[in-house]
Chain A
């Protein structure tokens, strides 16, 4: 789709005449604290996300250990609630979103032929806010009264009337996460608007860039609404306002409206970049151009626009007027059309291609199949009368873990395997990677598939105990959970090996069928790339 003209190719990384640039890679801790380099910041984001993934995963292990058997064995119900809450918050704001931002940092400038992100210092600021924000959140777990225990959705009145005072720390840590996300998103959107190399027209941009452009727009539009929601929780709890209190003329359901007006676009924030990743990997290993590039762009845009008018499908059982229920049901079902376009396009890309099954492709294929399962259970949940049965059961838990774990997180793993050789210059340990893939694939289905059954049978979510008839399935779910958790340690070992630059050197193209600007610069990618922009034909 894009190619470099030869006369510019060398100048992308050899010319260092600009005397206000720092040429030598800075050493020591200051390199990471004070960096303005998009690759350094991308690496920081990705490692931070992975550490948070393991932290949130450890909390999931506590949840599954408690649910291994019926009855209360290991933790107090209050602590169980803190685990479900902080697990959700960490995985959403600490793992998936920073991982995507890390990938955007590494890849967007290289894909569009830019020397760096548009605003490099702000880029560093938006990263370093995150470790501080999460240390506040995690510290509250060890304080008197414990951490937040009202679910990651912090519904009023759970977060107002019935929460402890540490909620104030939760509110300010969410404010910090929001500030970080907004600055990160502004950086991505400005980079894409303003930093494209000559000839990199809109419809030549790789889909990862397109999907991130739209994700960044969603982030800027809805993170401030989340800030508004936590602010209202703060004033309702501590300063006597009654936004969410009927006695003062407010309404607890209003909280849910405001939260989900943020929350539903947030769901797409966590999946649109995944679509971009899969749209990069599938063509490479099918050795064919992506089928329906333009329709992918339009589908992504329509998903993003629709995401603003579907929020109340999370609230079908709150007693909304029937007209509202019908509207939100139909609008939600409409989203399956552009999503179906995407699935169709990926399958059509593979149709009659010369497929090979390297590790990134394995994860991408698993994504396509398993994300579709999550999408179809989402369609079931969209149907209002059926949702009255499914609401707040393990069926919902099964649904959003299929789209977030086998969707978003599998896509992140696919992306890491796909671009890791470009970052390190060495091929990763393929044997370990295949172990990681197969162990993850099997265990994740043992973990999440039976949740559909117990959910349909009525097992409620966020409860540390359950009725005896769910015992057998829950035992298997927990075993799958432990296995999935352990499988990620294989990934950790592989990443440590890769960062120590072990493995065979790779060419600049790395994968036989890979196309795009990032595959035309050397592997490992030089510290500064495209200081003079390439010309894209």
Chain B
């Protein structure tokens, strides 16, 4: 490793943004906590403003922090070693996101393989079935819960399949954008990246359509037992991540319009593209385990 890399490692001076960010998270947590409590008492009060103020401060913080970062990067303060720190940091962050989804996939597998069959009397649980809900049938997807809530199954053909194709194609277009960036073909880059953002928005639009269909026509809701829980929590958190990913890529597009990034120096773009591939992989898992199986 070059000695030169080490000599230039950039240790930033004091910054107010991390503390501002901590304050923002504090307001958001207090706001969200109180909002949930008010919701459970039957009304929504003033805490929504607290949540909104916290979120606004968080956005200001992100803009300020990233602006500093971009200025440092464009004035050449960064070095190769710092670039590696950023890349490794992003990779570990994505790993932590994977583990968040693992918790919910774990809940799905547990419900399918253990809790639902056991309620139906599998393993050594005959008495569980006979004493609690003797008429309960353990069938996945769980369309009738032990306490009698009924729902319908969301099929994989149609919207979910179209959405799968959209996300898979968007992963390819995102990669093509990266290739174009590294070849310094700015026009092609803008086209591929713009297409990726568009595909992301289409995915989200169709996802909302699917949710409306589920709630209004199928009676499949967050409350319809463990099938509805895992369906909406997994697809919901995934949709939230797609929203974040689309926003990141959209901001990258704006920065590219302004002439940012070079074939050698484009960490932010790369991080956004990794994130996009990550939400894509999660969707493939979702499509397989939530919709098809």
Which A residues are within 8 Å of any B CB, using their own CB? 18, 20-22, 26, 30-31, 33-36, 114-116, 118-125, 128-129, 132-133, 135-136, 165-166, 168-169, 171-173, 175-176, 179, 182, 185-187, 189-190, 193-195, 197-198, 220-225, 227-229, 231-232, 234-235, 237-243, 246-251, 253-254, 257-258, 261, 321, 528, 531-533
Residues of A within 8 A of B40 (CB): 165, 168, 237-238
CB distance from B234 to the nearest CB of A (A): 11
Q: List 15 A-B contacts (CB under 8 A).
A: A36-B11, A168-B37, A169-B29, A169-B30, A193-B88, A197-B6, A220-B99, A224-B99, A239-B222, A241-B229, A246-B119, A249-B111, A254-B107, A254-B115, A321-B123
Contact mask B1-32 → A, CB, 8 Å, 1/0?
A: 10100111111111111110111011011101
B28 shortest CB reach to chain A, Å: 8
> Is residue B134 contacting chain A, with contact meaning CB distance below 8 A?
no
Residues in B with CB closer than 8 Å to A124 are 15, 18-19
B119 touches A34 (CB 8 A): no
Docked Cα-Cα span, A190 to B89, in Å, equals 6
Which of chain A's residues have a CB closer than 8 A to the CB of B118? 251
Kindly list 5 other residue pairs between chains A and B, CB separation below 8 angstroms, not including A133-B26, A249-B146: A36-B11, A132-B23, A243-B107, A249-B227, A251-B115
Taking CB atoms, residues of chain A closer than 8 Å to B95 are: 220-221
> Which B residues lie within 8 Å of A172 (CB)?
28-30, 32-33
Using CB atoms, name the residue of chain A closest to B97: A224
The interface-forming segment of B77-85, B197-205, B246-254, B283-291 is B77-85
Chain A residues within 8 Å of B14, by CB: 22, 26, 30-31, 34-36
User: Which A-chain residue is minimally distant from B84 (CB atoms)?
Assistant: A194
The minimal Cβ–Cβ distance linking B231 to chain A, given in whole angstroms, is 11
* Smallest CB separation, B96 vs chain A (Å): 5
A240 to B149 Cα, complex, angstroms: 12
Q: Does B89 lie within 8 Å of A248, measured CB to CB?
A: no
Task: Tell me how far the C-beta of A150 lies from the nearest C-beta in chain B, rounded to whole angstroms.
Answer: 16
Q: How far is the CB of A322 from chain B (nearest CB, A)?
A: 9
B17 smallest CB distance to A (angstroms): 7
**Pair B103/A258 contact, Cβ less than 8 Å:** yes
* CB atoms of A257 and B119 under 8 A apart: no
Q: When the two chains form their complex, are residues A186 and B93 in contact, meaning their CB atoms are under 8 A apart? A: yes
Residues in A whose Cβ lies below 8 Å from that of B22: 125, 128-129, 132
On chain A, the residues within 8 Å of B39 by CB distance are 238
Question: Contact check: which of A21, A125, A240 meets B222 at CB < 8 Å?
Answer: A240
Given contacts A122-B18, A249-B226, contact A20 B10 (CB under 8 A): yes
Instruction: Give me the 10 closest cross-chain CB pairs, A-B, nearest first.
Output: A228-B103, A125-B18, A128-B22, A251-B115, A249-B226, A132-B26, A224-B100, A172-B29, A240-B223, A247-B147
B21 touching A125, Cβ below 8 Å: yes
Which of chain A's residues have a CB closer than 8 A to the CB of B32? 168, 172
Cα distance, A239 to B228, chains bound together (Å): 12
Judge if B268 is at the interface, Cβ distance under 8 Å: no
For A21, the chain B residues whose CB sits under 8 A away are 11, 13
Instruction: Tell me, yes or no, whether B189 is within 8 Å of chain A by CB.
Output: no
Taking the complex as formed, is B92 at the interface, i.e. its CB lies under 8 A from any CB of chain A?
Answer: yes
Kindly report which residue of chain A lies nearest to residue B26, judged by CB atoms.
Answer: A132
On chain A, the residues within 8 Å of B13 by CB distance are 20-22, 36
Instruction: State whether A251 and B114 are in contact (beta carbons under 8 Å apart), knowing that A120-B11, A225-B100, A238-B36 are contacts in the complex.
Output: yes
What 0/1 readout, one digit per residue, does chain B (89-119) give for beta carbons within 8 Å of chain A? 1001101111110111011001100111011
Q: Select A248's contact among B33, B100, B225, beta carbons within 8 Å.
A: B225
> B227 to chain A: which residues have CB within 8 Å?
249
- Given A124-B15, A241-B222 in contact, is the A250-B111 Cβ separation under 8 Å? yes
- Distance between Cα atoms of A120 and B14 in the complex (Å): 9
Partner of A194, one of B29, B85, B115: B85
What chain A residues lie within 8 Å of B23 (beta carbons)? 132
Complex Cα spacing A175 to B107, Å: 19
Chain A residue numbers with a CB within 8 Å of B292 are none
Query: Is B258 an interface residue, CB under 8 A from the partner?
Result: no
Contact of B145 among A26, A238, A248 (CB under 8 A): A248
B65 contacts chain A at the CB level, 8 A cutoff: yes
Known: A193-B88, A224-B97. A235 touches B233 (CB 8 A): yes
A244 to B13, CA, bound (A): 48
When the two chains form their complex, are residues A227 and B25 in contact, meaning their CB atoms are under 8 A apart?
A: no
Beta-carbon nearest neighbor of B61 in chain A: A125
With A and B bound together, what is the CA distance between A34 and B26 in angstroms? Answer: 17
Min CB gap B129→A, angstroms: 11
A171 touches B222 (CB 8 A): no
Contacting residues, chain B, for A254 (C-beta < 8 A):
107, 110-111, 114-115
Task: Report if B183 contacts A (CB, 8 A).
Answer: no
List of B residues within 8 angstroms of A135 by Cβ = 26
Enumerate B214-258 residues with CB–CB distance to A below 8 Å. Answer: 222-223, 225-229, 233
For A129, the closest partner residue in chain B by CB is B22
Residues of B within 8 A of A195 (CB): 9, 81, 85
Give CA–CA (A22, B6) in the complex, Å.
18
Task: State the CA gap A260–B212 with chains docked (Å).
Answer: 36
A241 vs B232: C-alpha distance when bound (angstroms): 10
B142 at the interface (CB under 8 A from A): yes
Structural contact, A36 and B12, CB atoms closer than 8 A: yes
- How far is B290's CA from A83's CA once the two chains are assembled, in angstroms? 41
**Cβ distance A37 to chain B, nearest Cβ, rounded Å:** 8
* A234 contacts B36, C-beta separation under 8 Å: yes
B19–A128 CB distance below 8 A = yes
Smallest beta-carbon distance A277→chain B, Å:
24
Contact A132 B25 (CB under 8 A): yes
Closest to A164 in B: B37
